[in-house]
Amino acid sequence: MSFGGYSGQAFSPAGDKSRFVLPPLFRKAVKESSGGRILCLAKHDRWNCLVGFGLSRKEELDAQLDREEERAIRMQMDFDRDLRAMQLFGFVELPFDDSGRFVMPEHLRTLGQVEDGLYFQGAGRFFTIWNPDVLAGMGSDWESAQAACANLVAEAKGKKK
């Protein structure tokens, strides 16, 4: 079975001891992509969120690096291959258990402004992980994700009562 990408939305409240849960929809896709239980996480290069994916994306990142370098040469632009490689491959590989629990490193919690819970948004080759308050502050281009996030957060809070 080939990897089909990441789609959908989910919310996961914060657990104890910096533990979070990779929601079932994303857990299944990461397992397919990684051939096991390894979640890759990094800070998104433009947005105030984290990006997640499975190990199969490593090959894609190599090809992306080559394309970006070729484009820069063609356009006679400066390109620092080493710096860009550090940006693309600076992700952390985190194991997760059968229930999807994983421990998020403190530096990623800080970079992603992680607090009480995580909103997951599928984006094809990867998924984004947001602090719901940060996502709410994004512009109108984000209204679909904002509405889904608000609904999922409200549902989660309703279950706590």
- Give the mean model confidence (pLDDT) for residues 140-153: 95
Asked if residue 1 has pLDDT above 50, the reply is no
DSSP for 123-156, please give it. -BSSEEEE-HHHHHTS-GGGHHHHHHHHHHHHHH
pLDDT at position 160: 60
| Length of the chain (residues) | 161
CA distances from 23 to 20, 26, 32, 69, 116 (A): 9, 6, 14, 36, 15
- Give the mean model confidence (pLDDT) for residues 123-151: 95
Average pLDDT of the chain, as a whole number: 91
Q: What percent of the chain has pLDDT over 70?
A: 97
Q: Which residues pair with 20 in a beta bridge?
A: 102
Token output for 47: 């947005």
Comparing 87 with 143, which gets the higher pLDDT? 143
Per residue in 89-136, pLDDT (tens digit) is 999 999 999 999 999 999 999 999 998 899 999 999 999 999 999 999
Domains detected in the chain: 9-54+94-160 (3.40.1550.20)
Asked if residue 22 has pLDDT above 70, the reply is yes
Asked if residue 153 has pLDDT above 60, the reply is yes
Q: What is the pTM of this model?
A: 0.87
